[in-house]
Amino acid sequence: MTRKNVRVVIAKPGLDGHDRGARVVARALRDAGMEVIYTGLHQTPEQVAETALQEDAEVVGLSILSGAHMTLVPKIRELLKKNEMENVLLLVGGIIPEDDAAELIQSKMADAVFTPGDPLEKIISYIFEKGGKGD
């Protein structure tokens, strides 16, 4: 499914300020035709879930490089569910050790994890394949 205008929220939850990846990804998704909202830095899980709701996001991309992913990702998934947004595609990027990535995906806390070295194209095609609730 290649649908343009997919609504994506790119978020920086937690305290770390490393936003190179988040901004590069946000730009690449926009250039691929998606509607991208970037939350900016230092967001609480509540703020991320609130933005997702307000923006009617179909995809939420979390960028975390502080090591707090095992706490933050499940928390955000839970809050999204509370907002009746269980169908949101939740993607995680950053410094995520492989074991943690496997655990996040297996427990369905995250739909996909992208790490350094993954090409932008991989993220874009993943979203176009899975993203959106229909044409």
Partner 1 sequence: MKREDKFNELERKLKRWKTAAGNLPQKGSSGRTISGETLQPLYTPLDIKELDYERDLGFPGEYPYTRGVQGNMYRGRYWTMRQFSGFGDAYDSNRRYRYLLEEGQTGLSVAFDMPTIMGYDSDHQRSLGEVGRCGVAIDSLEDMEVLFENIPVDRVTTSMTINGPAAILWCMYLANAEKQGVRLDRVGGTIQNDILKEYIAQKSWIFPPEPSMRLITDIFAFAAQHVPAWNTISISGYHIREAGSTAVQELAFTLADGFAYVEAGIEAGLDVDDFAPRLSFFFNSHLDFFEEICKYRAARRIWARHMKERYGAKDPRSLKMRFHTQTAGCSLTAQEPENNIVRTTIEALAAVLGGTQSLHTNSMDEVLALPTEKAVKIALRTQQVIAHESGAANTVDPLAGSYFIESLTDKMEADAEEYFRRIEELGGVLKAIDMGFFQQEIADSAYIFQREVDRGERVVVGVNRYNSGEKPQIELLKIDPGVEKKQVDRLKKLKEKRDNSAVKAGLQELTKRAAGSDNLIPHILNAVKVYATEGEIIQALKEVFGEYREKPQF
Q: Using the minimum distance from each CB to partner 1, give the nearer residue, 63 or 88.
A: 63
Give how far the C-alpha of residue 1 lies from the chain's centroid of Cα atoms, to the nearest Å: 19
Which residues are at the interface with partner 1 (CB under 8 A)? 10, 14-20, 22-24, 26-28, 30, 36, 38-42, 44, 65-68, 70-72, 95, 97-98, 115-117, 119-121
| Shortest CB 58 distance to partner 1, Å | 19
Q: What is the DSSP string of 31-96?
A: HTT-EEEE--SSB-HHHHHHHHHHTT-SEEEEEE-SS-HHHHHHHHHHHHHHTT-TTSEEEEEES-
Query: Is residue 54 packed enough to be buried (19+ CB in 10 Å), middle (13-18) or exposed (0-12)?
Result: exposed
Q: Using the minimum distance from each CB to partner 1, give the nearer residue, 72 or 85.
A: 72
| Shortest CB 76 distance to partner 1, Å | 11
Q: Using the minimum distance from each CB to partner 1, give the nearer residue, 31 or 86.
A: 31
Residue 66 in tokens = 């502080």
| Shortest CB 5 distance to partner 1, Å | 18
Q: How far apart, in whole angstroms, are the C-alpha atoms of residue 3 and residue 102?
A: 28
Q: Using the minimum distance from each CB to partner 1, give the nearer residue, 40 or 133.
A: 40
| Shortest CB 134 distance to partner 1, Å | 28
